[in-house]
Structure 1
Amino acid sequence: MRDQDVRRIPAELLEWYDHHARVMPWRVGPAQRKSGITPDPYRVWLSEVMLQQTTVAAVKNYFHQFTSRWPTVRDLARSSDADVMAAWAGLGYYARARNLLKCARVVAFDLDGRFPDTYSGLIDLPGIGPYTAAAISAIAFDRQETVLDGNVERVMARLFDLHDPLPRSKPLLRAHAEALTPATRPGDYAQAVMDLGATVCTPKSPACGICPLRPDCVARLAGTAADLPKKSPKKPKPTRYGIAYLARTTEGGWILERRPDKGLLGGMLGWPGPDWGETLSDTPPFDADWRDFPGEVRHTFTHFDLILKLRLARIDAEQVPVSYQIIPRHDFRPSDLPTVMRKAHDLVRDR
């Protein structure tokens, strides 16, 4: 690609974005920004944390719920861990929720409620890595930072017809993305290139005919766009096995445990049971007349698949060890559980 072609790409993409920007509940659109409205760093930060490894469609309702309940970073910082973890339930990757609270408290109590406006200041906050720091500094503060997510990687791979597979090609993709990031409107540009990847330069069947960059796209001219980016083969996921012990008191209350803060589903309420492993460990959490349930839960995590057998029991409340929580049936909300635990409840709730 010629230097003059590279130089005109940001302007072409920004012109497209001005007419085709997606409407997001956390976004200040291009027309609003031109009229002087600036993004709220709290909303930008919250959306970026929620969007990590999660789709826009899945995030929207959670974002509305969080910002209605906690409209400022100080409101979120003052909330309890249990309330935030319960509100996050179902969104997955629960370490994000723990870091969300840690970060909110640093900003609210140590930084007087103000987010740092630079990459170097943001990267020091809990739970904020290189991508999130770049995204917040660009989108919220209009800093000239390079934002590189999966959509941007795909656009760069096709625009320059790069066939080296991911993740090995990431440094080169970043270099191209950095070279294109303009000093003018870098926040809008970051969102424009992500929007292009999400709506036009899609993983399958890219809509090259309506792409604003089609005259410049080397892969389109070579006929290779649909094959890019190439990816190294993934290793097959291992399968782990476990047992969830779902017990109720004779009054109908559910018996749950709070998982340790560190580790998978850390800090979340869930059904008692042994650690999940390559073989099944049958260790009831307390004495009860446990019976097998005929169904099982299957759930996919990032690094493994889980098969969870279920055991049920009824027990008098005074026999429940104090290390477990009894949630009265009228106070129990399945939506407060992580997805895998809610799947188990949905199978057995009428038993």
Structure 2
Amino acid sequence: MNFQNEIIKWYKLNKRDLPWRSTTDAYVIWLSEIILQQTRVEQGLPYFNKFLQHFPKVEDFANASETHVLKLWQGLGYYSRGRNMLFTAKQVMELHGGIFPVKYDELIKLKGIGEYTAAAISSFANNQSKAVVDGNVFRVLSRYFGVEEPINSTLGKKEFTELAQSLIEDQQPSLYNQAIMEFGALQCKPKSPLCSICPLRLNCFAFKHNKVDILPLKLKKVKIRERWFNYFIGVKDDHVLTKQRKPGDIWEQMYDFPLIETLDNEEYLKPDFWNQIKYLFGNEVNIKLLSQKKHLLTHQIIYVQFFGLDNYIVNFNLHAEIKSVLIEDFKALPHPKVISNFIETYL
């Protein structure tokens, strides 16, 4: 049995009908690849359609404002991807005359495009013989060939990349890359893979050695950071208090509410916390707890508390980072998911 032939045979029978599979337009493929990074197809597809509708050509994307891009991106997470895409679109206009490159060596030089994305675009748009190695491919190769090097180790990445590249030789790159990625997504799934009906199971190392639930191996994850955000909601005369987040932290350049970050969820009861509140909103301010949420990010857990403000005064000259804007205008701005969820319920 030939591994590649079986993968392609399976793909032709089982592949999903996805819009970016019917084009060789590198720009459209790039949109799909960046949007679907660390995102399920079901979640990413509406965003792909929305971006393509707003920015049908790379020139349209390059001319967009960051605020517009982040608003469309809202809810997808990893917001640096959206900012990088805007930068990349401008690069394509400046360096390639508005024609999205299709060669690996040119793609890899663009911001936000790594080895995987460059391989995907160059193979799908230009049939270049570059193997894609994403989470789905790692999993299929590790299980079938019995590769036990951790997928996130230097040696593991090298071994998987070399194996993947050897398998794509003499194949139609676009077809084979799509096939093995789809096989990992639908058949050789992370949990509950469909081994009983898998066409590769008889020669699969993991299946034969009872290691399906073990492979692929991965080095221990980085420590999760816990943070406590206390947001203050001030509403007067159809206006709400807001601020734009600064660079260098999560959700940079997006909009939320005035915030005090504390070291734990009890610190808001302490005098120093109240001193900060009075400094921001005046000595006569009253607060009321409106909502508490636990927001999960890849390497952070954010415990969020929303407090309503009453009888507050803001010195906008002293606190220039805080703005008072119309609620309807505020809703049109890009927000982190935890903020947009709050807005839907309370504003």
Give 2:12's aligned residue.
Answer: 18
Write the distance in 2 (CA, Å) between the matches of 1:90 and 1:118.
Answer: 32
Write the distance in 2 (CA, Å) between the matches of 1:276 and 1:121.
Answer: 45
Write the distance in 2 (CA, Å) between the matches of 1:261 and 1:236.
Answer: 22
Moved more, 288-297 or 265-274: 288-297
What secondary structure is seen at the aligned counterpart in 2 of 1:227?
A: coil
For structure 2, list consecutive stretches of 5 or more residues without a partner in the other structure: none
Moved more, 273-282 or 176-185: 273-282
Q: Is 1:296 matched up with 2:299?
A: no
Q: How far apart are 1:184 and its partner, in Å?
A: 3.2
Change (3 A) 1:315 1:329: farther
What secondary structure is seen at the aligned counterpart in 2 of 1:226?
A: coil
Q: Is 1:185 matched up with 2:185?
A: no
Q: Is 1:255 matched up with 2:251?
A: no
The structure 2 residue matched to 1:155, chosen from 107, 126, 140, is 140
Q: How far apart are 1:158 and its partner, in Å?
A: 0.8
Moved more, 236-245 or 72-81: 236-245
1:87-136 C-alpha deviation (Å, 9 max, x unpaired): 11111111111111000111123311112222211111111112211111
Partners of 1:259 and 1:268 within 8 A in 2: yes
The structure 2 residue matched to 1:62, chosen from 24, 33, 47, is 47
Write the distance in 2 (CA, Å) between the matches of 1:306 and 1:82.
Answer: 24
Partners of 1:182 and 1:189 within 8 A in 2: no
Partners of 1:260 and 1:266 within 8 A in 2: yes
Q: Is 1:269 matched up with 2:255?
A: yes
Q: Say what the alpha-carbon RMSD is for the aligned residues.
A: 2.6
Q: How far apart are 1:275 and its partner, in Å?
A: 5.0
What secondary structure is seen at the aligned counterpart in 2 of 1:239?
A: strand
Change (3 A) 1:261 1:237: closer
Q: Is 1:105 matched up with 2:79?
A: no
Write the distance in 2 (CA, Å) between the matches of 1:109 and 1:345.
Answer: 39
Give the letter aligned to residue 229 of structure 2. G
Moved more, 158-167 or 264-273: 158-167
Q: How far apart are 1:331 and its partner, in Å?
A: 3.4
Moved more, 194-203 or 136-145: 136-145
Write the distance in 2 (CA, Å) between the matches of 1:292 and 1:212.
Answer: 60
Change (3 A) 1:324 1:180: same
Give 2:309's aligned residue.
Answer: 313
1:251-305 C-alpha deviation (Å, 9 max, x unpaired): 1222211212443111111112245656858434832424031532211111111
Partners of 2:143 and 2:207 within 8 A in 1: yes
What secondary structure is seen at the aligned counterpart in 1 of 2:50?
A: helix
Give the letter aligned to residue 124 of structure 2. I
1:153-181 C-alpha deviation (Å, 9 max, x unpaired): 11001111233444233332222212111
What's the TM-score once normalised by structure 2's chain length?
0.86
For structure 1, list consecutive stretches of 5 or more residues without a partner in the other structure: 29-37
Write the distance in 1 (CA, Å) between the matches of 2:295 and 2:333.
Answer: 17
Moved more, 277-286 or 255-264: 277-286
Q: How far apart are 1:18 and its partner, in Å?
A: 2.1
The 5 Å alignment of 1:1-351 reads 8-28=2-22, 38-168=23-153, 169-248=156-235, 250-274=236-260, 282=273, 283-284=276-277, 286-288=280-282, 289-313=285-309, 320-321=316-317, 322-333=320-331, 336-346=334-344, 348-349=346-347
Write the distance in 1 (CA, Å) between the matches of 2:91 and 2:150.
Answer: 39
What secondary structure is seen at the aligned counterpart in 2 of 1:336?
A: coil
Moved more, 136-145 or 167-176: 167-176
Change (3 A) 1:323 1:50: same
Aligned length: 333
Write the distance in 2 (CA, Å) between the matches of 1:220 and 1:317.
Answer: 66
Partners of 1:77 and 1:105 within 8 A in 2: yes
Moved more, 110-119 or 120-129: 110-119
Write the distance in 1 (CA, Å) between the matches of 2:259 and 2:158.
Answer: 43
Write the distance in 2 (CA, Å) between the matches of 1:316 and 1:110.
Answer: 51
Give the letter aligned to residue 251 of structure 1. D
Change (3 A) 1:110 1:299: same
Change (3 A) 1:233 1:64: same
Q: Identity of aligned pairs, percent? A: 32
Moved more, 183-192 or 58-67: 183-192
1:56-112 C-alpha deviation (Å, 9 max, x unpaired): 111111111111111111111111111111111111111111111000111123311
Q: How far apart are 1:208 and its partner, in Å?
A: 2.2
